[in-house]
Structure 1
Amino acid sequence: MADAALLSPRDPAWTEALDRVRHDIYHIPEYVRLDAGLTGATPVAYRYDEAGRVFLLPLLLRPVPGTDLQDAISPYGYPGPVGSADAAFWSRATATMTEVLCTEGVVTAFARLHPLLPGCREVLAGSGTVVQHGETVSIDLTLGPDELWSQTHRSHRNQINKAKRAGVEIVFDDWDLFDDWIGTYHATMRRVGATDFYFFGADHFHRLRAAVDKHVHLAVATLDGQVLGGNLFFEYAGMMHTHLQSTADGPIHYADKLLYHEVRMWGRARNNHIYHLGGGVGGTADSLFRYKSQFAAGRQRFHTWRVITDRGNYEKLSGPPTPESMTGRFPPYR
């Protein structure tokens, strides 16, 4: 017998499913609930069970303006589907997901796939559209310090050494510096012209720390008592992810390079096996990607998955689906 449901973060079946499959911090209910609060969305997880196997996908349900419909999107980060490794099982799980979401008035679903966790991507392509956006960068923390250093581009190595000679220090988990770091984050967002969404308030950051507790860490770069920037990062099940990195306005003495270097050494010392830096904006091979790529040789492909769960209402909103509408901005009615 198969069973499928949409779970709330309070439902113990969500955590129980995660106990049975390899997953990351982006899948836990505390993280998904916090992320939903940024936009007023409803946090849920689609769970499918069959013969001792389980499939789970966290989603945020959002009202479609001007209608009584909803659509679904991933939380921020990489919370793609996770589940028992069986292509036929995934096929049944995804087909049933379409039915369940349609019954709940959900028109489309959009999910960011996890670059580090294996999944049945060919099955997802059969039940929707999978789009490859580019590559992400990762650091193999099982390598020795000399190999990690040799994989670092010579310009980054030179600037890391300059930061050390200038007296820049990296402090870990001194939460008395959290508000100062938040100030550097907002300064960074102003410099890059970020949209309003990315100007997370201090209250959000403090709720994030409370929600995921021991899995979030803060590395802060200081010089003569001044905060130059920092790296807010996750550590979960041997995987590390930079969540947000920032630098203050003014001279920073290459503190950004030293931050990445010291965070990877910290992670290696704690027996983590991979540090995921992410990619460029929108998964493109832009200057941000090139900057990250000069820290390590690890590369993973980044994909998104797009599904029409209610074709009739989708066509009322956007017309018949086309290859362009399925691979471009999705859903197109947004």
Structure 2
Amino acid sequence: MIAVIKEKQEWSALLAKAENLDFYHTYDYHHLSKTEGESPILIKYTEGDTTLVLPLLLRDIENSDYKDATSVYGYAGLLALHIDAHFNKANFHNELNAFFKAQKIISVFSRLHPFIEHQEDLHTGLGHILSLGKVVYVDLTQTIEDQRAKYNRRLKTYVNKARKLCTVIEGTVEEHVQTFIELYEENMKRVDATDNYFFDTAYYHRLLSSSDFETKLMLCQHNESQEIIAGALFMKTGNIVQYHLSGLSEEYFELNPIKLIIDEMRIIATNEGYNIFNLGGGLGSEEDSLFKFKSGFSKDFETFKVWKYVVDEAAYKTLTKNHLGTEIKTEELHDGYFPAYRAPVKTHTV
């Protein structure tokens, strides 16, 4: 049986039963992430003693009666609250497919969580799962010394130097949020980030005040000037710590303060009993300079995968042709930008 959950109390009560989850699954993060025209839903499937939940953002498709669904930015995907011995995956797929069709949802896209093992198996057979790249993580079940032994030599030098000149402190909403926002936005402008990497002030306040997960604002203070020169937001849920956002002052770029903050959070999270410190991957899952920066901390990687599912092939093809002006073949449905009818269209200027 399929049910749709929209209220926070029921959403949170269901997630409380999950053995493994992340802040990306929560009601608060979905409502923080949604943009105009997006409605957060939690799809609940029950069969006997089996309960599965799938959080999604439901979207209207412009100039049509159809909808589609996508996951929040980050690592979300299906959660198994309990699977009993009589669970039949085919029944789950049939009911989920029937629900999508009844709601006129013609395509579904979800980023999967690299540390929740059952997700790929539960999705296999319905749509396509694609591997996009690697994420870097620190195994916090190892000793602090063994973790540090995996740092590359240059990183150890940078961290040692930064520790002599700087101190990592925990920030507060009242005192430090605006400083962090300025540092983060300065950093995003420096790397020419797109608009979706910028947030309004309320986003940071809601992130730091959520009851669904714990957010830590860690700051790097220059000892001599007492200036806050860098900051990072880390999200703690279950046994996982996620490196979420960070920014630094260009004036102190050579001090590598973000590396010091990450090193400090690694130590704190280990002492607090967390298992995984996920640093994430490169931009667009590429092994770029961002990935290189993160892989200096660890050689432990997991594969980042996404789920793409075309529910109504005919409608998908029609919308894609209307949008792009070209036909799309069945074997190409899951290639490239997904869904294709939302792909950015290049405009030619004279």
TM range (shorter): over 0.9
Code of the aligned partner of 1:270: E
CA RMSD, aligned part only?
Answer: 1.9
The 2-side partners of 1:294 and 1:70 are apart by 42
Write the distance in 1 (CA, Å) between the matches of 2:110 and 2:339.
11
Aligned counterpart for 1:303 among listed residues 296, 305, 308: 305
> Among 57, 61, 68, which residue is 2:58 paired with?
61
**Per-residue deviation, 1:157:** 0.4
Structure 1 residues 85 and 321, CA, compared in 2 at 3 Å: closer, same or farther?
farther
Task: Give per-residue Cα distances to partners, 1:233-267, cap 9 Å, x unaligned.
Answer: 10111210011122122223110111110010111
**What is the rounded CA distance, in whole Å, between the counterparts of 1:11 and 1:68 in structure 2?**
31
Contact persistence 2:37–2:60 (CA under 8 A): no
Q: Does 1:261 align with 2:263?
A: yes
The verdict on how the C-alpha distance between 1:9 and 1:312 changes in structure 2, with shifts beyond 3 A counting, is: farther
2:339 corresponding residue in structure 1 = 331
Cα distance in structure 2, aligned partners of 1:205 and 1:285: 28
Instruction: Give the distance between the partners of 1:214 and 1:15, measured in 2 at CA.
Output: 11
Are the counterparts in 1 of residues 77 and 112 from structure 2 also a CA contact under 8 Å? yes
Q: Which runs of 5+ in 1 are unaligned?
A: none
3-state DSSP of counterpart to 1:326? coil
Q: Which 10-residue stretch deviates more, 81-90 or 312-321?
A: 81-90
The Cα of 1:291 is off from its aligned counterpart by 1.2
Number of aligned residue pairs: 329
Query: Partners of 1:124 and 1:95 in 2: how far apart?
Result: 12
| Aligned residue number for residue 221 of structure 2 | 222
1:31 aligns with 2:62: no
Q: Does 1:314 align with 2:313?
A: no
**Deviation for aligned residue 1:196:** 1.1
Counterpart of 2:8 in 1: which secondary structure? coil
Distance in 1, matches of 2:14 and 2:93, equals 16
Deviation at 1:86, TM superposition (A): 7.0
The one-letter amino acid paired with 1:243 is: H
Residue type at the aligned position of 1:113:
L
Q: Is the 8 A contact 2:215 2:235 kept in 1?
A: yes
Indicate the residue corresponding to 1:190 in structure 2: 189
Residues 1:60 and 1:184: Cα distance change in structure 2 (over 3 Å):
same
Q: Secondary structure at the match of 2:55?
A: strand
Q: Distance in 1 between matches of 2:170 and 2:340?
A: 43
Q: Indicate how the Cα distance of structure 1 residues 143 and 180 shifts in structure 2: closer, same or farther if over 3 A, else same.
A: same
- After TM superposition, the runs of 4+ consecutive aligned structure 1 residues lying more than 4 A away are 85-88
TM-fit CA distance, 1:85: 4.9
Partner residue of 1:19? 16
Number of the residue aligned with 1:162: 161
CA contact (8 A) 2:78 2:119 kept: no
> Counterpart of 2:124 in 1: which secondary structure?
helix
**TM-score after normalising by structure 1:** 0.93
Q: Secondary structure at the match of 2:260?
A: helix
* C-alpha distance 89-168 of structure 1, shift in aligned 2 (>3 A): farther
Q: Alpha-carbon deviation of 1:116?
A: 0.7
The alpha-carbon deviation at position 11 of structure 1 amounts to 5.7
Is contact 2:308–2:338 with CA below 8 Å preserved after alignment? yes
TM-score of the aligned structures, taking structure 2 as reference length? 0.89
Counterpart residue identity of residue 171, structure 1? I
